[in-house]
Structure 1
Amino acid sequence: MTQPFRIPGAGRLTPAKIARFTFDGKAYTGLEGDTLASALLANGVHLVGRSFKYHRPRGFLSAGAEEPNALVEISRDATRRTPNVRATVQELYDGLAAQSQNRWPSLGFDVGAVNNLLSPFLSAGFYYKTFMWPKAAWKRLYEPNIRAAAGLGVAPEEADPDHYAARFAHCDVLVVGGGAAGLAAALAAAETGVRVILCDEQPEFGGALRYESGARIEGLDGYSWARQAVEKLAAMDNVRLLTRTTAFGYYAQNFVGLTERVTDHLASPGKAPRERLWQVRAARVVLATGAIERHMVFADNDRPGVMLASAARAFLNEYGVAVGRTIGVYTANDSAYAAAIDLKKAGVDIAAIVDLRDDPSGPLVEQARSLGIEVNPGRAVVGVGGRQRVSSMIVQPTGGGGKRTIPIDALLVSAGWTPSVHLFSQSRGKVAFDAGSQRFLPGLYAQDCRSVGACNGTDGLAETLNEAFAAGEAAAKATLGETSAGGGGNAPKVDASEDWAGGMLGSAPGAGADTTVKAFVDFQNDVTAKDIRQAVREGMRSIEHVKRFTTNGMATDQGKTSNMHGLAIAAETLGKEIPEVGLTTFRAPYTPVTFGAIVNHARHELFDPTRRTATHGWAEAHGAVFEDVGQWKRAWYFPRPGEDMHAAVNRECVTVRRSAGLFDASTLGKIEVVGPDAAAFMELIYTNPWQKLEPGRCRYGIMLREDGFIYDDGVVGRLSDDRFHVTTTTGGAARVMNHMEDYLQTEFPHLNVWLTSISEQWAVIAVQGPKSRDILAPLVEGIDLSDAAMPHMSVREGSICGVPTRLFRMSFTGERGFEVNVPADYGQAVWEAIWAEGEKHGACAYGTEAMHVLRAEKGYIIVGQDTDGTVTPNDAGLDWAVGKKKTDFVGIRGLKRPDLLAPGRKQLVGLKTVDPKVVLEEGAQIVQDPNQPIPMKMIGHVTSSYWSENCGRSIAMAVVAGGHGRLGETLHVPMPDGSIAVEIVSAVFFDETGERLHG
């Protein structure tokens, strides 16, 4: 099998092994080292996809990660299918199978292409206007069809059989981009001895040096110098080199996310991971991410065979592939001339160069003319011929006049270069518009990083190397605490007699756009110049609004080739300068990242870490049924032979109130607040007063958000003047810690306080019930358990079973109760000792369900169940927990908002069903009149509902509008089989006077 467009002796792949692959079921051959794109082009295949909206034929635009058109599905076998893979990035291997997407029944004949004929009805914003009426048709007609048409590839339904790896890494200098600038920066930094990581998304370092034929450094051609630089770096112990690795996100404190493609290029990946996620924290970052060439905007510029000039040059000099036999060039800058020259020297016919500029000049222009290439200045390509591949270009003087048709089979375009400021912008750096070159460049830095080379607007090779070497040296020496000369004097020397076209800039984007035809700006989403202008006419003034109205830049390439065009056309239409229209936001990821890389090991049994308490084994051995609470496995109930859940829970609840029960409360969040200003901090973070709380005493605390709503609650014990033991809800442990730390660092940094999460350090055994003190007394040492010495809501430190303990006298059941905190390693041993004593008194072990019933009998709330983020302390009947004399705490201003003080707010109350045997459903809505017409006016909902064996009836809690003033009122809970009458009562159903707390 032949590759008719492979040029013998060209490129860097020969000699190389043959690699066999298929595309849409047809067999082809390529060479190892090819990308799928270069292999297809070597076989003369240009048509590789269909556009999203109009299903127009599409070919390759680029040779890199910015590719918007050539998205294919790659499959290794029946279970390994990956959609939306860029053919320009996918490396070829023997046996690769690729399928085109977004077409039916075939790529050559796509029924969806009828959308192109309907394009007058599918212009920008049509979806905002078309599907508004009739309203009833949306769910039945519009939505199903729109969803069926959405997307490009088809998500696989099979489980992913591959596995993925993850690494955390720290370095002194991270260099992103392995072209000339990145290599120079990495060399300069590495030579000082600091730890350096250099990453690049390509399989080989060198960047544009791999295909720039004119670059010479230190007497070597650019490619040879790059290889020599890599060999030098690879020999250094302080350097890590990562190829096939994309820096996709730049986050706070120089935290950069990288994805490494480990085996996607291998025919037999073996047991190696498919991808590796690197999470890198760097002292300093050097961005050498280069620039992206812009296409030209003209009629039918999306035809297969129309591609960027730099892409054609890469395909030729890297892979030895000619993208056509008779090639036209349409440009507004010099770098396209370099591509034409290289192709001409390789024996490819250059039909003509069409240059928008009236009088192009310079070494490359003159060299092109000297090779006999026809140069047409002051002219534009206004259209092309051909349907599924370009067959001609139509040329016209820029000032108007006669048109000329030139036969071609490929057209190279270049409107200049756009610096890749994506990662810089993600770092929260502010870009600045350079009016002279009409491009956005890095401006104000927000983190310790520097941009070098083309991404910084530096055009010449010598200037790039000097700048990069100085930046790498400065970054390294700053890490070492030294001062760098920063002059780049030791940078590699460039042979000035050679030209390097990699950074040359052309005219403003959008030149030559024709408003009467389809002149495409965004290829994947079929956004035209006309669409951009329509958006402006319809009132869009910000580029962000234009983007959303037209979907320009919202495709998988994230506007890498289209955003500047859209911005320039919008600015031209508005009659404004480009900066006045704004700039779209650069968001992570830079290029698409697979779900596998992100999820990594967190799937199947590792999808969510399973946390077990110290007594888990004991509970399991005693027949506990477990439930998942957050990431914890918690004993739900302990059934005995013949008992179902309800019988077990009823028995547990009765036993606790008659004798005692043991409950594992280890999952509660626990935080130590320590320092001279600990009490002052507690005053600010909680609603309650804390300064006068005596050491050895406890207090129930409420924590609010800024808006005044309850955020979390828990009992806090003061161990000493400068130490508090804080408990939180199980689900709130991590977020409360983050909440407190955030305020300490940002709002109260003047306070001398330290916060430490101790949730895992202490096992907590709750012993509740009238016999609780009798059970603990024989085991506790150094603590007087009498009511006088240790009253309710107190804490003491001593030992139990010879183990250090923090013993709290507190209750979540309303009974005399204690919570025994011991080091987690001793949790089960202490539990077993307490259990042995408890059995003597008829105690039981109880689970979370009984805990819920017992606390509801006493009207104790659970944050997150009885609150929903819109409940204030007053709504919950907890006004007593808000310090009346306090002048400041988090949420105090929120509590004063008029809407939080207005009458009629939903307030927490108790509910009793008129039929005591009926148990309400949690979440059920409450109405005043069950006979009112639908839709009924809902005035509240049930938050907690249980059968209470101790009360002999059902009990429930609910939030009801104006609930505190409705005691004794009868309301209704409408259900499918009829309305349930309920009476509003106090939320305390058992022991209303609270005497049992004190035994």
Structure 2
Amino acid sequence: MAATHRIAGQGRLTPAKTLRFTFDGQQMSGIAGDTLASALLANGIHLVGRSFKYHRPRGILSAGAEEPNALVGIERDATRKTPNVRATVQELYDGLNATSQNRWPSLSFDVGAVNNLLSPMFSAGFYYKTFMWPKTAWKNVYEPKIRAAAGLGVAPDQPDSDHYSARYAHCDVLVLGGGAAGIAAALAAAETGACVILADEQAEFGGALRFETGATVDGTDGWSWAQASVAKLAAMDNVRLLARTTAFGYYAQNLIGLAERVTDHLANPDRDLPRERLWQVRARRVVLATGAIERHMVFADNDRPGVMLASAARTYLNHYGVAVGKNIGVYTANDSAYAAAIDLKKAGVDIAAIVDLRDNPAGDLVEEARALGIEINHGRAVIRTGGRLRVSSMTIQPKNGGGERTIPVDALLMSAGWTPSVHLFSQSRGKVAFDEETRRFLPGTYAQDCVSVGACNGTDGLSASVEEAYAAGAKAAKDAGAKAARGTKPKVEASESWSRGMLGAGPGAGPETTVKAFIDFQNDVTAKDIRQAVREGMHSIEHVKRFTTNGMATDQGKTSNMHGLAIAAETLDKPIPQVGLTTFRAPYTPVTFGAIVNHGRGALFDPTRRTAMHGWAEAHGAVFEDVGQWKRAWYFPKAGEDMHAAVNRECVTVRKTAGLFDASTLGKIEVVGPDAAKFMELLYTNPWQKLEPGRCRYGIMLREDGFIYDDGVVGRLAEDRFHVTTTTGGAARVMNHMEDYLQTEFPHLNVWLTSISEQWAVIAVQGPNSRKIIEPLVEGIDLSDAAMPHMSVREGKICGVPTRLFRMSFTGERGFEVNVPADYGQAVWEALWAEGQKHDACAYGTETMHVLRAEKGYIIVGQDTDGTVTCNDAGLDWAVGKKKTDFVGIRGMTRPDLVAKGRKQLVGLKTRDPNVVLEEGAQIVADPKQPIPMKMIGHVTSSYWSDNCGRSIALALVAGGRDLMGQTLYVPMPDRVIEVEVSGTVFFDEKGERLNG
């Protein structure tokens, strides 16, 4: 199909650069620089989709990101299909293949349109009332059908073959919005030498200057000035320009999320390039120049294809050279629509009439329209439109009633005024304020280091906007630390200044009518729906929003929110500010999963962490388990051994002679500074001031509520230096916990915290022969019991490399933990392994480690605790300093509910049948014959077979457990009830004699 609605001499595109594309299988042509929307309009296509609920025919409403109707599917190949792409944003490329959505069997004949005839059944909130009965039907009938019907496009069914990337950036001044105001602010900031980033969602910078024709800047037309200014910025080393980049989220401390479309506009993109790039920018100052969004008029059948915003028609004409119709009507309540009519008339397009709701419109634009011979009907309203798949007429009448008149049109432009785009300002936690005079919400109280300029700040007129923005850009740079510079402020000459417009429904769509006057086009929300919501008790705008779904579509109510708010306020007979404003949340426009996830998928979905000894373990047949992101050796089976046989052998070998265990995944934090001991006193329950350098202590860390948060052995290396170990899973959160308190509660302490988890590889050598294994390799450390007793730490060398050698045990045997720089981890392991072989030592994995520690009653935080366990519950009162008066959690420990009788306490369990191994997590009851549901008094936290004990062993949290020693409890299972005897938590070497060999 050849383009028939291009106007020679209009627009900024080069006609010679022709592109081919298809829409619903029909071949068409466009021009390089077109959007899909402008190319469709150039081919006379207005019908592009169907609405969500009623399946009404819908056309192109806008020319930008606010588009609610023109959502299409884009398909490059079988693996690259994208639904719900806004045709107004998608740039045309040669071979583009687009498909309309939410229709069957075709766009022009959609069976789903029967919903429009049944619309009285689908009024606002019908789903809340309809799908309640019968109760059993929800899961079996309603939910499956609703889920099948939900959405507009079809989700891809193949993995995405494109790739995405992410970047972090810092700048002095971040300018969001590349219109005249944004460019002026960026120029002013850049001229100071500040680091500046300018971002805009369009392919080219210029914003509203794409359609503005009545202004000059620095003696040239606005668009040319914008392109020259952008070229100047691009030549500056301190400026980064990000076109095709949407700022979708404004977060704490001036962190802005931006999504850059890198290759979606290219016919044959380089597959080495990412499709999209996620930017996370931290800026010292942010300038918001996000403009304003034109509102539509609310009247009956205002959603027909061919009915669109006046600024959109002006954009299609002045930028793309496309006339949206041949006989166009205009319906307005402000001056800006006159500019569209004037531009179209001058381009040779017939203007059927301008219908102005105002009684006495006046001004230069009104007079110019009259001078061009355009019919102006003031004090009148469009009360409905005619047509099926495209608008064919508009019916007008005096706004106070009277005779109707029908005027043939093939397009209808509308403008109810302009709504400042305060979305990002609101996301920054800024508070908007309602301006009664202009009836719009404007930026009010600021929460972050940002400033709004231009139309988004309610500044009318190009000249005032540029002047305000230039001053704001210079000030933002100065506030960010840049030196003042003497730039040249752009000189603007412009006559256009928009009047206020209106909010809410127009005549013919009032409370007395039942017409479909649409507010939210995508979700089919009408003025009648808003009024119904209020009548049914929804008096908060948030409730109205959810009851009607107004503003909940992919466009997030950019054109509908203010109309819905005004109608609700009118119905409630309240001022608009009292009804409230819905919260603007990120993202500003939809962001793809690909952009958010970027590299984090497939093998990179969750990074895999491996210790320095991973390769050795793999070569020696280890079976691995995932512990968070770590790959840890689970057990080391020999030929013919299953897991149980391998673990039994490893457990016995460690206790009989020795074993080597890779403990590198333990969290390790270095606490350094003159006040290190004071800090440790405040973060842990134990006393630390008197701990001698070279000695270790088991430490318990609590939350403020008094519950156990983490544990680990802490070694004091010097008066001002501690080596803190944490659980593997707790490494990051303990570091965060420490930093949080140091920065917020104890900033007076001179302490520095460093995560050293990856710096040290840790090899635990455990068992009666452990000292014999390490002794030949250690230099500069006396390993005798007298010189290096249990729970001590020394620094020296092993195999010629530096080591922090701990004498400690998580097995109850004599044990050492060898810390060496991670680069030497495998070499030292291999040397220790060679020595170990002389003593018949084994390598053991995490399962054996669990069994050995359980035999000794050593807890694992997160397994034997569940976030509600105190030191007393776990039998660790001995680890709480009796003379300490302050530490994190000390007040929580004294809460009445935490010292009350009957709390769950950690105890041991022995099954009556020693061969039965309990299931971890199994519930415990006092009476197995009680009626169901039984009263549960506890649960099994750890359970293993112990070859060293010759029986099963278990740990459990049981209500009042320590008072039940020797008593019988029961573990009900699906096939039987298991009898257990409550015991102490230590099952092997109760006196701890083996710690010293």
What range is the shorter-chain TM-score in? Answer: over 0.9
| CA pair 150-712 structure 1, distance change in 2 beyond 3 A | farther
Mean CA deviation greater in 854-863 or 310-319: 854-863
Distance 2:626 2:284 in 1: 40
Where 2:391 maps in the other structure, the secondary structure is coil
| CA pair 400-621 structure 1, distance change in 2 beyond 3 A | same
Residue equivalent to 1:448: 449
Where 1:391 maps in the other structure, the secondary structure is strand
Contact 1:626 1:635 in 2 (8 A): yes
Residue equivalent to 2:281: 280
1:155 counterpart = 2:155? yes
Report deviation, 1:61. 1.5
Residue equivalent to 2:684: 686
Residue equivalent to 1:32: 32
Distance 1:949 1:128 in 2: 61
Query: Unaligned stretches of 5+ in structure 2?
Result: none
| CA pair 717-579 structure 1, distance change in 2 beyond 3 A | farther
Please tell me the residue identity of whatever aligns with 1:956. Answer: A
Distance 2:771 2:125 in 1: 72
Residue equivalent to 2:819: 821
User: Which among 692, 695, 698 is matched to residue 697 of structure 1?
Assistant: 695
Report deviation, 1:858. 1.8
Report deviation, 1:930. 4.1
Report deviation, 1:597. 1.3
Residue equivalent to 2:658: 660
Length-normalised TM-score, structure 2: 0.96
| CA pair 892-244 structure 1, distance change in 2 beyond 3 A | same
Distance 1:367 1:889 in 2: 78
Contact 1:659 1:842 in 2 (8 A): yes
Distance 1:962 1:46 in 2: 75
Contact 1:417 1:504 in 2 (8 A): no
| CA pair 584-12 structure 1, distance change in 2 beyond 3 A | same
Report deviation, 1:904. 4.1
Residue equivalent to 1:474: 475
Over residues 461-511 of structure 1, what are the superposed CA-to-partner deviations in whole Å (9 max), with x where a residue is unaligned?
A: 1111111111222222333454579xxx8311112xx4235x654223445
Report deviation, 1:7. 1.9
Where 1:6 maps in the other structure, the secondary structure is coil
Residue equivalent to 2:297: 296
Please tell me the residue identity of whatever aligns with 1:299. Answer: A
Contact 1:610 1:633 in 2 (8 A): yes
Distance 1:574 1:269 in 2: 54
Report deviation, 1:340. 1.3
Residue equivalent to 2:558: 560
1:846-925 correspondence to structure 2 within 5 Å? 846-925=844-923
Mean CA deviation greater in 418-427 or 223-232: 418-427
Please tell me the residue identity of whatever aligns with 1:606. Answer: L
Please tell me the residue identity of whatever aligns with 2:866. Answer: D
Over residues 899-945 of structure 1, what are the superposed CA-to-partner deviations in whole Å (9 max), with x where a residue is unaligned?
A: 44444444333333333222233333334444555544444333322
1:423-442 correspondence to structure 2 within 5 Å? 423-442=424-443
Contact 1:382 1:514 in 2 (8 A): no
Report deviation, 1:459. 1.2
Residue equivalent to 1:581: 579
Please tell me the residue identity of whatever aligns with 2:150. Answer: A
1:252 counterpart = 2:252? yes
Report deviation, 1:897. 4.2
1:314 counterpart = 2:321? no
| CA pair 892-142 structure 1, distance change in 2 beyond 3 A | farther
Residue equivalent to 1:786: 784
1:508 counterpart = 2:503? yes
Contact 1:925 1:938 in 2 (8 A): yes
Mean CA deviation greater in 540-549 or 465-474: 540-549
Contact 2:185 2:469 in 1 (8 A): yes
Over residues 307-333 of structure 1, what are the superposed CA-to-partner deviations in whole Å (9 max), with x where a residue is unaligned?
A: 111111111111111222222222221
1:534 counterpart = 2:529? no
Distance 1:598 1:91 in 2: 22
Residue equivalent to 1:185: 185
Report deviation, 1:225. 0.9
1:844 counterpart = 2:845? no
Contact 2:191 2:485 in 1 (8 A): no
Report deviation, 1:343. 1.3
Over residues 338-386 of structure 1, what are the superposed CA-to-partner deviations in whole Å (9 max), with x where a residue is unaligned?
A: 1111111122222222222222211111111221222222222222222
Report deviation, 1:706. 3.1
Please tell me the residue identity of whatever aligns with 2:220. Answer: L
Query: How many aligned positions are there?
Result: 993
Report deviation, 1:571. 2.3
Please tell me the residue identity of whatever aligns with 1:531. Answer: D
Contact 2:205 2:226 in 1 (8 A): yes
Residue equivalent to 2:793: 795
Mean CA deviation greater in 142-151 or 680-689: 680-689
Contact 1:299 1:514 in 2 (8 A): no
1:417-816 correspondence to structure 2 within 5 Å? 417-482=418-483, 490-495=488-493, 498-501=494-497, 504-512=499-507, 513-515=509-511, 516-816=514-814
1:956 counterpart = 2:957? no
1:83 counterpart = 2:79? no
Report deviation, 1:6. 2.1
Report deviation, 1:67. 1.0
Report deviation, 1:968. 3.4
Over residues 39-74 of structure 1, what are the superposed CA-to-partner deviations in whole Å (9 max), with x where a residue is unaligned?
A: 111122222122222222221121111111111110
Contact 1:56 1:116 in 2 (8 A): yes
Where 2:989 maps in the other structure, the secondary structure is coil
Over residues 208-262 of structure 1, what are the superposed CA-to-partner deviations in whole Å (9 max), with x where a residue is unaligned?
A: 1111111211111111111111221222222222211111222222222222111
Distance 1:885 1:126 in 2: 66
Contact 2:193 2:482 in 1 (8 A): no
Distance 2:55 2:897 in 1: 52
Where 1:532 maps in the other structure, the secondary structure is helix
Mean CA deviation greater in 118-127 or 63-72: 118-127
Please tell me the residue identity of whatever aligns with 2:116. Answer: N
1:334 counterpart = 2:329? no
Contact 1:168 1:279 in 2 (8 A): yes
Distance 2:902 2:324 in 1: 73
| CA pair 829-132 structure 1, distance change in 2 beyond 3 A | same
Distance 2:149 2:627 in 1: 40
| CA pair 323-871 structure 1, distance change in 2 beyond 3 A | farther
Distance 1:982 1:119 in 2: 65
Where 2:492 maps in the other structure, the secondary structure is coil
Contact 1:352 1:375 in 2 (8 A): yes
Residue equivalent to 2:413: 412
Distance 1:305 1:963 in 2: 76
| CA pair 680-128 structure 1, distance change in 2 beyond 3 A | farther
Deviation >6 Å, runs of 4+: none
Report deviation, 1:521. 2.0
Where 1:76 maps in the other structure, the secondary structure is strand
What is the identity percentage for the equivalent residue pairs of Structure 1 and Structure 2?
82
| CA pair 899-439 structure 1, distance change in 2 beyond 3 A | farther
Query: Unaligned stretches of 5+ in structure 1?
Result: none
Contact 1:469 1:490 in 2 (8 A): no
Report deviation, 1:987. 2.7
Residue equivalent to 1:830: 828
Report deviation, 1:759. 0.7
Where 1:412 maps in the other structure, the secondary structure is strand
Contact 2:192 2:483 in 1 (8 A): no
Residue equivalent to 1:108: 108
Contact 1:453 1:465 in 2 (8 A): yes
Where 1:942 maps in the other structure, the secondary structure is strand
Distance 1:801 1:118 in 2: 84
Distance 1:230 1:775 in 2: 71
Please tell me the residue identity of whatever aligns with 2:779. Answer: E
Residue equivalent to 1:50: 50
Where 1:777 maps in the other structure, the secondary structure is helix
Over residues 825-860 of structure 1, what are the superposed CA-to-partner deviations in whole Å (9 max), with x where a residue is unaligned?
A: 221222222222222222111111111111122222
Length-normalised TM-score, structure 1: 0.95
Contact 2:679 2:751 in 1 (8 A): yes
Report deviation, 1:451. 1.6
Distance 1:893 1:392 in 2: 76
Report deviation, 1:885. 4.2
Distance 1:914 1:118 in 2: 69
